[in-house]
Amino acid sequence: MIPRYSRPEMVALWEPESKFQIWFEIEAHATDALAEIGVVPKEAAKAIWEKGAFDVDRIDEIEREVKHDVIAFLTNVAENVGEEARFMHQGMTSSDVLDTCLAVQLARASDILLADIDALLAAIKERAYEHKFTPTIGRSHGIHGEPVTFGLKLAQAYAEFERNRERLVLARKEIATCAISGAVGTFANIDPKVEEHVAAKLGLEVEPVSTQVIPRDRHAQYFATLGVIASSVERLAVEVRHLQRTEVLEAEEYFSPGQKGSSAMPHKRNPILTENLTGLARMVRSYAMPAMENVALWHERDISHSSVERMIGPDATITLDFALARLTGVIEKLLIYPERMQKNLDRMGGLVHSQRVLLALTQAGISREDSYRIVQRNAMKVWESDGEIALLDLLKADPDVTAKLSHEELEDRFNLDYHFKHVETIFARVFGE
């Protein structure tokens, strides 16, 4: 995590203060449950809630001495709660606290990320409707193909991030489990009811079988899902970068009117936000690998997963949060240039319509071979002129063509609307409206 690529809410979630607050809640809820089943006095549970407090600096101080974070925390809480603190943590292990806390943190991180995706979806939808019928060239292989609308491009992005939203909801479910099962997970010294109680209070599911730790296949699936979402961020970022290329320039990252690009070169407006997102996506994606390697812990548990999670827990969520928010800003304020889109569409002198003319000639009775030859000889001239000559003009002047097709019929083949007749269908599928 580096400040430059992070936002305060997500950062706060991973700070010691938040972590210890969650630890406190786990311990306090657990003591409630222990009191409920008669293992500890009800007064103790009450005292913990009432007098429970901790201080990060003091915990650090104790940890430097005892070299154990959970013990340091408990000691500090005991300093505030007094005598009754000895009933806390009864029959529990450190992992019960640590793993359940991580579950809470990742669940909350997911909620922030879900809100991020919602904001992004709203931004994409807004711009998609705005440009529902803005014609632009569809490109396969970077080469002009057939016309699409700019709204369609965004509809695809919308559908992709809706899928990502669903994936994240499922991924959140994966990691939102509570384990309070004691050493090696047998509940030998703690009743499963405690786990049920804490889980309910923290909005988690009970982990059916933990082995001191929550199994790491859950986290692997979680971080892999973040990696997929980051890859979608990259896709949309790369689209903007392509559109902003000098030769294409159909859209640009926002640039305030007074803003200087580069010294004297007004054309020098670089898609630096989306380039930055491309890099961030690479990072988030990369965290999936160590998360998967974490799955094969030895026997009931080893602690090799811990250093990985201390790093990728914050890094993956903070970076993805930042990236989603940045992408939302890019889309919201994206400068979109329909005129330039039209210019690019026309750039090939109407060659994108050649296929439809070919079909029209065939339907008018000319053999496919002859039709092809007729169209191609005109198309080649357009091509050689680098789009300066318009195909439609050439066709209108070609007697072999006009023998079969009137000028009106020809013009009809150059109508963009033909390509857009199912835009509504696709929008209805995507936006459900």
Sole window of 20-28, 101-109, 229-237, 395-403 interacting with its own copies (rule: CB under 8 A) = 229-237
Residue of 141, 257, 369, 388 that binds its own copies (CB under 8 A)? 141
Among residue numbers 235 through 254, which ones bind its own copies (CB under 8 A)?
235, 237-239, 241-242, 244-248
| 218 interacts with its own copies by CB under 8 A | yes
Question: Nearest approach, Cβ of 352 to its own copies (angstroms)?
Answer: 7
Is the four-CA dihedral 69, 71, 73, 76 of positive or negative sign?
negative
What is the C-alpha to C-alpha distance for residues 14 and 301, in angstroms, rounded to an integer? 24
Residue of 26, 308, 316, 410 that binds its own copies (CB under 8 A)? 308
Is residue 425 exposed (0-12), middle (13-18) or buried (19+ Cβ within 10 Å)? exposed
Contact 5, 45 (CB under 8 A): no
31 or 210: CB nearest its own copies: 210
Q: What are phi and psi of 93, to 5 degrees?
A: -115, 165
Residue of 38, 256, 421, 433 that binds its own copies (CB under 8 A)? 421
Among 260, 250, 92, CA closest to 179? 92
Among residue numbers 3 through 62, which ones bind its own copies (CB under 8 A)?
4-5
Sole window of 22-30, 100-108, 118-126, 180-188 interacting with its own copies (rule: CB under 8 A) = 180-188
333 or 347: CB nearest its own copies: 347
| 64 interacts with its own copies by CB under 8 A | no
CA distances from 156 to 239, 281, 433 (A): 12, 19, 15
Among 225, 210, 228, CA closest to 174? 225
Does the annotation mark 307 as catalytic? no
25 or 251: CB nearest its own copies: 251
What is the C-alpha to C-alpha distance for residues 215 and 175, in angstroms, rounded to an integer? 10
Of residues 68, 262, 385, 407, which has the active-site annotation?
Answer: 262
305 or 404: CB nearest its own copies: 305
What is the C-alpha to C-alpha distance for residues 97 and 144, in angstroms, rounded to an integer? 57
Sole window of 18-26, 47-55, 116-124, 225-233 interacting with its own copies (rule: CB under 8 A) = 225-233
Which residues have CB under 8 Å from 69's CB, separation 6+? 59, 63, 94
| 110 interacts with its own copies by CB under 8 A | no
CA distances from 182 to 89, 90, 93, 94 (A): 10, 9, 5, 9
Size of interface with its own copies, in residues (CB under 8 A): 136
50 or 166: CB nearest its own copies: 166
104 or 168: CB nearest its own copies: 168
| 307 interacts with its own copies by CB under 8 A | yes
Contact 353, 35 (CB under 8 A): no
Q: Give per-residue burial for 94-128: e unless 16+ CB within 10 Å, then b.
A: bbbbbbbbbbbbbbbbbebbbebbebbbebbbebb
Among residue numbers 348 through 407, which ones bind its own copies (CB under 8 A)?
348, 351-352, 354-355, 357-358, 372, 375-376, 379-380, 383, 386
Sole window of 32-40, 47-55, 277-285, 400-408 interacting with its own copies (rule: CB under 8 A) = 277-285
| 167 interacts with its own copies by CB under 8 A | yes
Does the annotation mark 141 as catalytic? yes
C-alpha 143: how far from chain center: 28
Residue of 217, 332, 346, 412 that binds its own copies (CB under 8 A)? 217
Residue of 292, 325, 335, 389 that binds its own copies (CB under 8 A)? 292
